[in-house]
Each structure stands twice: as C-alpha cells, then as structure tokens.
C-alpha cells in the first residue's frame, strides 16, 4: 500500500489507507485516546479505543511524544464531529522517530518566541504552517520568474561566484583565499550578464546567491541573498523597466492563483500592484511637499521609501528613474553630465530592485571607474571586451527575499530566508 497525504484521504467508510507524519497533538482520555497526525498537506485524527485496536497499538500511543514521526495504516471512519469529517482507526502504528521532550521552542505560535530563538531552531520553526507557507510562496516567485522570461526568449545562465574584483565598487567584499592569490565572493553577476548581451544569446536571466560584507543590522538587509537578474541587448532604461513592471504583476497573479491557502494565511489583502513612474527630481519635490526633507543629490533612506508608500499606497510599484550620476554604480550609462539612465523600484515601502541602461563604450567606463576611485586595471577583462562589439544594453535585479517580504507581508527579511546569514549568524 502506498502512502497518501491527508488531503487525499478518501471519504469511503472502511477504506484502508497508509499515512505518515508528525504527532501534532495527543489526547489521552483513558479507554479512548486521540492522536492528531500532521503531514505537509494537513491534519487527521487517529482514534485509539481500547477493544477496537490491538493492545500493542493502545500501549504505544501512551509512549508517544509531540513531534514524533509515526506511520499509520488503518481504516477510514466517517465522523461528522471529527476534523474534516473523518478519522482513522489504526491497524498498525509504528514510531519511526521519537522526539525528545520538552521541545526547544514552541513553534505553534501560541507562545511568543523571539525571531532569534526561532532561527536557532529553524527546522522546527518550519513546521508551523504559516512559516512553511512563506517558502511555498517564495518557490512560486522563482518558478514564475523563470517561466516569464523563458516565454520571452531569454536564456538562463550561471555566472561565476568567485571573482577577482568588485563589479559594483561600493559594497564591501568577502575575501577568500584562492590557491596562491586573493579572490572574492561575488556581490553581483553584473559584468558577466552584461557580457552575455554581446553574444548570440543577447537576452539572459539568472537566479544566484550574492554576498555583501556590509556591517549592517536592519530588518531588510542580509549578507547573503538571492538575486533574480536580467540583462538584454538593445534595451534602454524605460524599456527594461517595463519588463520589471510586467514580471512583478505576472508573479503576483501567479501567487494569488497557485498559493491561495498560503496567501490567506500570510497576506489576504494582496493584490496585483498598480504602477507609478517618477523621475528622481519629481520624487525629491514630492517628498519635500509632504514634510520629509530630502536634499537633491541625497539617496532615499528607508523613511523616504515608507513615505512614498504612504502617499501612493502599499499596492503601488513605484519606479524612480533618471538618478543623479554620482548616486549610481560606474556601469550605469549617463544621460548627460549630471543625470544617469539608472532607476530604482519601490514596492510595499521598500526598494526591491535597481537597474538601468549600462555603459557599453570603454572610454566612458574608464572615466566612470576613475570618478568612483576604482582602478581600471582591475576591470581589464571587461574593458577589453567592450572593444569588440557590445551593443547598448540594460538590466536589473530583484532581491528574491525582499519581494517575498512584500508579498507575504513580513517585517524582517530573515523571515523570508530559510537559513539567513547576517553579521551575527552562521548557523544553522
């Protein structure tokens, strides 16, 4: 007999079934005892009555502990008063793995457990259906991202994660020993995806881990994240923003359709977002009109991002384009001497993406590198490549964890990461 999940139990009186899962609850009432079995799809009641089951099963139930793993074979008994309208009368009950007591955390949500403690025991925390739901949504986000760009002729590729120099120049890098010389963990796939636009592929996407050695400790930063990146030849700042608008809407539509139960648990007010396009100049003016003092040439802080969400609503995907050139990485194409062809995208009060049109001419890139205090010699392989026919191109990246935060209505990015890595956490 094959194991089935709780949702697949037929409502046929006397039907034999085989189930396996965790002991969610035990109620010992003397001659009539109940065990609630939980698996990935739900729960079912096992009814253990003296005289109706073998003595060995009756005795074994008294030895059970919460979260032990059990295998049950038995018959379906219809009962309108039981959860789901049925219960199982066991003919076989086997303890596959007995859990120690007490459990190190209460993951049910009935007791307030700190996030740090929950993360210490993350595999137990993931047994909470609400926590489990986060990663089902996250999986759907990644699946839908891939689906969207494959349908549009993009090719998935995998850039190196060990690099010689920083592609962004600003964020600190994690140094590693690479045989006889130093190397770094990649903070972005940027330069490699740009080079891919100069091949017959032209349009590429990737989902990769990246590392940033910044000593921050905020609810929206980690030192290891997953990025969903695209890059496309013959695109500019505005055409590439349209791809971002369309894929975010496509992802949300898919999550609402395929993760109905999960979203009902996490964020029942989720809707497909509307969009707003604003220049950096317009945003500075709007923020100042709304009593938030931001000077021209300053980056937008978290307070500014939240203010924009207050003004336009949390269900607005806000594109902020045409930033001052000094606020963007060296590889962003200038619009003129002061402005760039770079943008950010805010959603739900946080920045989820940045991107723009890239520099495809070596003389401009050398000028930008020097202006940022970077040595062009460290980027020689990339500069040399630009000499041999790299087309105008543009791209962006979305932080997978940040988008998960928004769609699941989470307050801390660590909740959107199965095993987060920050400056204080290397285990589990």
**What is the CATH number for 322?**
3.30.930.10
Q: How many domains does the chain have?
A: 2
224 and 288 share one domain: yes
Among residues 97, 112, 142, the one where a domain terminates is 97
| Residues 21 and 150 reside in one and the same domain | no
The answer on 406 and 279 residing in a single domain is: yes
- What's residue 169's pLDDT? 53
Per-residue pLDDT of the chain (428 residues; tens, 9 = 90+): 999 999 999 999 999 999 999 999 999 998 999 999 999 999 999 999 999 999 999 999 999 999 999 999 999 999 998 888 999 999 999 999 999 999 999 998 888 899 999 999 999 999 999 999 999 999 999 999 999 999 999 999 999 999 986 655 555 899 999 999 999 999 999 999 999 999 999 999 999 999 999 888 899 999 999 999 999 999 999 999 999 999 999 999 999 999 999 999 999 999 999 999 999 999 999 999 999 988 999 999 999 999 999 999 999 999 999 999 999 999 999 999 899 999 999 999 999 999 999 999 999 999 999 998 888 988 888 999 999 999 999 999 999 999 999 999 999 999 999 999 999 999 99
Domain boundary among the residues 48, 80, 97 is at 97
For residue 118, what pLDDT is reported? 96
In a domain, 102, yes or no: no
Which of 97, 113, 148 lies at the terminal end of a domain, its last residue?
97
Shared domain for 16 and 130, answered yes or no, is no
The secondary structure of the chain, three-state, reads CCCCCHHHCCCCCCCEEEEEEEEEEEEECCCEEEEEEEECCEEEEEEEEECCECHHHHHHHHCCCCCCEEEEEEEEEECCCCHHHEEEEEEEEEEEECCCCCCCCCCCCCCCCCHHHHHHCHHHHCCCHHHHHHHHHHHHHHHHHHHHHHHCCCEECCCCCEECCCCCCCCCCCEEEECCEEEEECCCCHHHHHHHCCCCCCEEEEEEEEECCCCCCCCCCCCEEEEEEEEEECCCHHHHHHHHHHHHHHHHHHHHHHCHHHHHHHCCCCCCCEEEEEEHHHHHHHHHHCCCCCCCCCCCCHHHHHHHHHHHCCCEEEEEECCEHHHCCCCECECCCCEECEEEEEECCEEEEEEEEECCCHHHHHHHHHHCCCCHHHHHHHHHHHHHCCCCEEEEEEEHHHHHHHHHCCCCHHHHCCCCCECCECCC
Per-residue pLDDT, 257: 98
Please tell me the predicted confidence (pLDDT) of residue 108: 87
In a domain, 108, yes or no: no
Q: Between vectors from CA 186 to CA 180 and to CA 191, what angle results, nearest 5°?
A: 110
What pLDDT sits at residue 167?
57
Q: Quick one: 159 and 74 in the same domain?
A: no
Residues 56, 191 within the same domain = no
Supply the pLDDT for residue 355. 97
pTM as predicted: 0.92
Q: Is residue 293 part of a domain?
A: yes
Same domain, 44 and 182: no
Residue 38: CB partners within 8 Å, gap ≥ 6? Answer: 6, 21, 22, 23, 24, 127
Asked if 24 and 163 sit in the same domain, the reply is no
Structural domain that includes position 54: 6-97
- Residues 140 and 30 grouped into a single domain: no
CATH of the domain at 24: 2.40.50.140
Question: Does 44 share its domain with 189?
Answer: no
Residue 45 domain-assigned (yes or no): yes
| pLDDT of amino acid 210 | 96
Residue 140 and residue 46 share a domain: no
Same domain, 20 and 141: no
Tell me, yes or no, whether 423 lies in a domain: no
Q: Note whether residue 112 is domain-resident.
A: no
Task: Report yes or no on 411 lying in a domain.
Answer: yes
Residue 230 included in any domain: yes
């Amino acid at each position: 007999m094959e194991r089935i999940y709780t949702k697949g139990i037929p409502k046929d009186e006397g039907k034999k079934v085989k189930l396996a899962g965790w002991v969610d609850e035990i109620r010992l009432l003397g001659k009539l005892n109940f065990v609630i079995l939980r698996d990935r799809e739900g729960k079912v009641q096992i009814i253990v009555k003296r005289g109706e089951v073998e003595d060995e099963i009756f005795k074994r139930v008294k030895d059970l502990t919460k979260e032990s793993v059990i295998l049950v074979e038995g018959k379906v008994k219809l009962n309108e008063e039981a959860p789901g309208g049925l219960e199982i009368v066991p003919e076989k009950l086997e303890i596959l793995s007995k859990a120690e007591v007490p459990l190190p955390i209460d993951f049910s949500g009935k007791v307030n457990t700190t996030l740090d403690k929950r993360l210490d025991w993350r595999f137990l925390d993931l047994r909470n259906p609400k926590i489990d739901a986060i990663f089902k949504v996250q999986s759907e986000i990644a699946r839908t991202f891939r689906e969207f760009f494959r349908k549009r002729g993009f090719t998935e590729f995998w850039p190196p994660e060990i690099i010689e120099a920083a592609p962004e120049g600003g964020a600190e890098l994690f140094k590693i020993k690479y045989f006889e010389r130093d190397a770094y963990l990649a903070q972005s796939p940027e330069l490699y995806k740009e080079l891919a636009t100069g091949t017959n592929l032209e349009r590429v996407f990737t989902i990769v881990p990246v590392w940033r050695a910044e000593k921050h400790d905020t609810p929206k930063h980690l030192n290891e994240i997953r990025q969903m990146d695209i890059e496309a030849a013959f695109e500019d700042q505005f055409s590439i923003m349209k791809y971002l608008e369309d894929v975010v809407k496509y992802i949300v539509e898919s999550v609402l359709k395929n993760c109905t139960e999960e979203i009902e648990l996490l964020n029942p007010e989720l809707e497909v977002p509307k969009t707003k396009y604003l220049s950096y100049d317009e945003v500075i003016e709007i923020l100042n009109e709304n009593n938030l003092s931001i000077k021209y040439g300053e980056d937008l802080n978290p307070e500014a991002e939240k203010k924009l969400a207050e003004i336009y609503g949390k269900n607005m995907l806000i594109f902020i384009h045409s930033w001052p050139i000094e606020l963007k990485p060296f590889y962003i194409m200038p619009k003129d001497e002061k402005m760039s062809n770079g943008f950010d995208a805010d959603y739900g009060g946080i920045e989820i993406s940045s991107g723009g049109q890239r520099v495809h001419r070596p003389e401009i890139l050398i000028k930008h590198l020097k202006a940022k205090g970077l040595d062009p010699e460290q980027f020689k392989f990339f500069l040399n490549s630009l000499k041999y026919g790299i087309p105008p191109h543009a791209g962006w990246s979305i932080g997978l964890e940040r988008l998960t935060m928004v769609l699941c209505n989470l307050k801390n990015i660590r909740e959107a990461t199965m095993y987060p890595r920050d400056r204080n956490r290397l285990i589990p």
